[in-house]
Amino acid sequence: MNANKKKLAVFVSGTGTNFETVQEFILNNNVNGKIILLISSRQDALALKKAEKYGIDSCVIQQEDYDNIESYTNEMLNKLEQYNIDYIILAGFLKKIPSEVIKTYKWRIINIHPALLPKFGGKGMYGIRVHEAVLKTGEKETGVTIHFVDEIYDNGAIIMQQRVPVQPADTPEVLQKRVLAQEHKILPRVVQFLCDDKIKVQDNRVIIEE
């Protein structure tokens, strides 16, 4: 491994298809970064098995296991420091990131959200609920947003968005699948830009120097 490669941690709560897609992209392309740590908020996340398959270190950090937010936060910070992590990728992580972690890793945490933020974001807006809400309001298009993480859910500066059409016959599940396919296309690209230092922020606006 190139000593200068960016050290990446991926946070998950479930299946980890985005994690897997980024890892496959890194293995098959010349990316200046490497996933060296997977943190799961759940013991039963399928993503943990995927990490094992790739030989990537993983751990479970569940908030319920800690007496208070400080010890939970410290556990997370210690792990990240132990691995000397440069960037954190939230790929289906359903817990709020403690504010100390957000402060310590300012402009170094990204999240992927399955809608065109600021629409259909915020607390409780995750998974199939997002797509149900999109269909309920009769939107003609939805999409994917990748953004930096700040203290407010789904609020940070937007890095990249991809539109996805809504079809008349869509069910939430069908729409979710179409959106997920686009997530898998843009997340590896953003990770590559990040690792190449091509993502700059000016006045809270993100500029990608392609």
Residues that bind ligand GRF (CB under 6 A): 12, 14-19, 91-92, 112-114, 180, 183
Least distance (Å) between residue 73 CB and ligand GRF: 21
Q: Of the two residues 16 and 98, which places its CB atom closer to ligand GRF in the complex?
A: 16
**Cis peptide, bond prior to residue 118, ω within 30 of zero:** yes
Q: Of the two residues 92 and 156, which places its CB atom closer to ligand GRF in the complex?
A: 92
Least distance (Å) between residue 18 CB and ligand GRF: 3
Least distance (Å) between residue 123 CB and ligand GRF: 13
Amino acid at 177: K
Contact 182, 190 (CB under 8 A): no
Question: What tokens were used for 178?
Answer: 């179409």
Beta bridge partners of 200: 207
Q: Of the two residues 22 and 195, which places its CB atom closer to ligand GRF in the complex?
A: 22
Q: Give the residue at shortest CB distance from ligand GRF.
A: 92
113 classed as catalytic: yes
CB environment 104-117: b (16+ within 10 A), e (fewer): ebeebbbbbbbbbb
Cα distance between residue 147 and residue 135, in whole Å = 23
Q: Give Cα separations from 152 to 149, 156, 209 (angstroms).
A: 8, 7, 27
Unique residue bearing structure tokens 């479930």: 14
Least distance (Å) between residue 81 CB and ligand GRF: 25
Provide the 3-class DSSP secondary structure of residue 58: strand
Q: Of the two residues 173 and 197, which places its CB atom closer to ligand GRF in the complex?
A: 173
Catalytic residue numbers, as ranges: 113
